Amino acid sequence: MKEISCKLLVIGAGPGGYVCAIRAGQLGIDTVIVEFGKPGGTCLNVGCIPSKALIHAAEEFEKISHMAGGKSPLGISIAIPSIDLETTIAWKDGIVSRLNSGVASLLKKAGVKTVHGWAKFRDGKTVEVETETGTQVVRAETVVIATGSASVELPSLPFGGPVISSTEALGLSEVPERLAVVGGGYIGLELGIAFAKMGAKVTVVEALPRVLAQYDAELIRPVVKRLTELGIEVLVNAKAKGLSTKRDALLVETATGKNGKIVADRILITVGRKPVIEDWGLEQIDLDMAGKFIRIDDQCRTSMRGIFAIGDVTGEPMLAHRAMAQGEMVAEIVAGHKRSWDKRCIPAICFTDPELVTAGLSPEEAKGLGGEIKVGLFPFAANGRAMTKMGEDGFVRVVARADNHLVLGIQAVGQGVSELSTAFGLALEMGARLEDIAGTIHAHPTQGEGFQEAALKALGHALHV
């Protein structure tokens, strides 16, 4: 097979890789991208997009189920609904498929050549790709590693049979009757809540003293309350030990040290993700590592000249939008532009019910800086739009420096608050002060008004509380 030579080779067509390749193509760089699976990576195929599709379906189903119980305060009544998960998954797959082809066509439009197959480094400039039609050798001046991450397996609970990862969970053909979720992080709770809404009896097993441990207790309180309402049992300080001999139950050691058994037909393992650093020839190029991740500098350069790394393989936070921003930056660096990583905040969203958004520093982190801070919190119970959506739980919280009112962090929990993340990110990136947010007209009636009110609260003159 003929060798390909190019200026830029991107390994992995996830959100980091494909954005890098598209931007490089736009800039006129001769670019090749290699992907083993479908374009879009974890995010598009087995992560963000399909999970949100499933979560949306679950929400709709749960709403209708409420109405069927005759309890709807909206006055709507309906016959008892049912869900055909196979159809739901097909709908979800349709979305994913449309986006897959969308990414493929964007790459094509940008003049990027796509090679399907598994890439392996031969040396720092040469990569061999195992394709369906044989080995394709690609020589490149610059290589970008964007191999992403994969679900972490538990040694005592290897994937297979009833033990599934999030990837399998997003492809189930029917709602499990009993679902045990090992790991109370955001993936576990997002999927756990979705399946609970679709009728599964869900139990969450978390080794730490509380779920969503990376968030502060005040922020997750509405989520914990909702878990109870949804009938999700949460075992904290509990360890998953393995499967029962009949493979129909999860064995756990509870907080008190007692052994227990959680009967489940599916056991979803969501204990984290690990960078994909195997099977693509890392040993051939011997890059410096930062723990289990590839070490990069503020331009995403690795320890080897001409090799960049972006996305999950380079560390936390393992978020698609971080990878995208890195990908865009690296493409521009390769094109000769002066760029470096200078972002102020990477917002993070947890699509639980209610949703969580964090951007910048939490009150605790801000206090850790040593200066005086101001915190303003506005509850959605005082927000008209939240009331009309029956989503009064939650709040927006703004953290600012006391001396000059520079906003350091913004958090929110509530129905639909994921959409507020754009405003939060913009405010922090622009260097907004409390007065800037308070002085911006926030359209009425929206939940976004809560953001303005939180800033006003921090300034000491909230209008609606």
Partner 1 sequence: MGEYVIKLPDVGEGVAEAELVEWQVKVGDLVREDAVLAAVMTDKATVEIPSPVDGEIVWLGAEIGDTVAIGSPIVRLKVAGEGNVKAGAESSGGEAKATGATPTPSPSPQGGGGRASAPKADAKPAPPSGSASVRGSEMATESPSPLWGGVRGGGTLSPRSALSAAPRPEGEKPLASPAIRLRAKEAGVDLRQVAGSGPAGRIRHEDIDAFLASGPQLAKVSGLARNEAVEDIKIIGLRRKIAEKMALAKSRIPHITYVEEIDVTALEELRAALNKEKRAGAERSKLTLLPFLMRAMVKAITDQPNINALFDDEAGIVHQHGGVHIGIAAQTPSGLVVPVVKHAEARDIWDCAAELNRLAEAARSGTATRDELSGSTITITSLGAMGGVATTPVINHPEVAILGVNKMMVRPVWDGTQFIPRKMMNLSSSFDHRVIDGWDAAVFIQRIKMLLETPALIFVD
23 binds partner 1 (CB under 8 A): no
DSSP state of 383: -
Catalytic option among 56, 444, 461, 464: 444
Contact stretch for partner 1 (CB under 8 A) within 95-103, 108-116, 300-308, 428-436 = 428-436
Number of residues that bind partner 1 (CB under 8 A): 23
- For partner 1, give the closer residue by CB, 130 or 429: 429
The correct pick among 79, 336, 404, 443 for binding partner 1 (CB under 8 A) is 404
Q: Least distance in Å: CB of 130 to partner 1?
A: 39
Contact stretch for partner 1 (CB under 8 A) within 53-61, 257-265, 308-316, 425-433 = 425-433
Site string (223-262) toward partner 1, x via CB under 8 A? ----------------------------------------
| Integer CA distances (angstroms), 381 to 227, 294, 394, 398, 413, in order | 19, 45, 8, 17, 12
Q: Cβ neighbours of residue 74 under 8 Å, at least 6 residues apart?
A: 67, 390
436 binds partner 1 (CB under 8 A): yes
Pairwise CA distance, residues 295 & 313, whole Å? 9
The correct pick among 217, 290, 430, 463 for binding partner 1 (CB under 8 A) is 430
Site string (354-383) toward partner 1, x via CB under 8 A? --------------------x---------
Name which of 11, 3, 4, 18 is nearest 112 in CA terms: 18
- For partner 1, give the closer residue by CB, 368 or 439: 439
Name residue 352's amino acid: T
Q: What string of DSSP letters covers 123-152?
A: ETTEEEEEETTEEEEEEEEEEEE---EEEP
- For partner 1, give the closer residue by CB, 69 or 368: 368
- For partner 1, give the closer residue by CB, 177 or 403: 403
Name residue 77's amino acid: S
435 binds partner 1 (CB under 8 A): yes
- For partner 1, give the closer residue by CB, 148 or 425: 425
290-349 positions binding partner 1, by CB under 8 A: 337-340, 342, 344
Contact stretch for partner 1 (CB under 8 A) within 56-64, 65-73, 228-236, 404-412 = 404-412
Q: Least distance in Å: CB of 342 to partner 1?
A: 5
Pairwise CA distance, residues 243 & 436, whole Å? 55
Going by their DSSP bridges, the two strands 266-269 and 178-182 should be labelled as parallel
Contact stretch for partner 1 (CB under 8 A) within 62-70, 106-114, 228-236, 435-443 = 435-443
Query: Which helix (DSSP H) or strand (DSSP E) does residue 410 occupy?
Result: strand 407-414
Contact between residue 173 and residue 230 where contact means Cβ atoms under 8 Å apart:
no
Contact between residue 8 and residue 144 where contact means Cβ atoms under 8 Å apart:
yes
- For partner 1, give the closer residue by CB, 226 or 374: 374
Q: Please say whether the dihedral angle defined by the alpha carbons of residues 327, 332, 338 and 344, taken in this order, is positive or negative.
A: negative
Q: Least distance in Å: CB of 343 to partner 1?
A: 8
Contact stretch for partner 1 (CB under 8 A) within 119-127, 228-236, 316-324, 455-463 = 455-463
Q: Please say whether the dihedral angle defined by the alpha carbons of residues 309, 314, 318 and 322, taken in this order, is positive or negative.
A: negative
Q: Least distance in Å: CB of 430 to partner 1?
A: 5
Name which of 372, 396, 392, 371 is nearest 383 in CA terms: 392
183-212 positions binding partner 1, by CB under 8 A: none
Pairwise CA distance, residues 185 & 350, whole Å? 9
The correct pick among 4, 236, 406, 465 for binding partner 1 (CB under 8 A) is 406
Query: Mapping DSSP to helix (H, G, I), strand (E, B) and coil, where does residue 206 land?
Result: coil
Pairwise CA distance, residues 149 & 306, whole Å? 22
Contact stretch for partner 1 (CB under 8 A) within 92-100, 159-167, 381-389, 398-406 = 398-406
- For partner 1, give the closer residue by CB, 239 or 401: 401
The correct pick among 433, 437, 447, 448 for binding partner 1 (CB under 8 A) is 433
Phi and psi at residue 406, to the nearest 5°: -65, 130
The correct pick among 371, 431, 444, 463 for binding partner 1 (CB under 8 A) is 431
Look up 444 and say whether it is catalytic.
yes
Name residue 407's amino acid: V
Pairwise CA distance, residues 58 & 463, whole Å? 36
Pairwise CA distance, residues 205 & 236, whole Å? 6
Which residues are identified as catalytic?
A: 444
Binding site for partner 1 (CB under 8 A): 337-340, 342, 344, 374, 401-406, 429-431, 433, 435-436, 439, 459-461
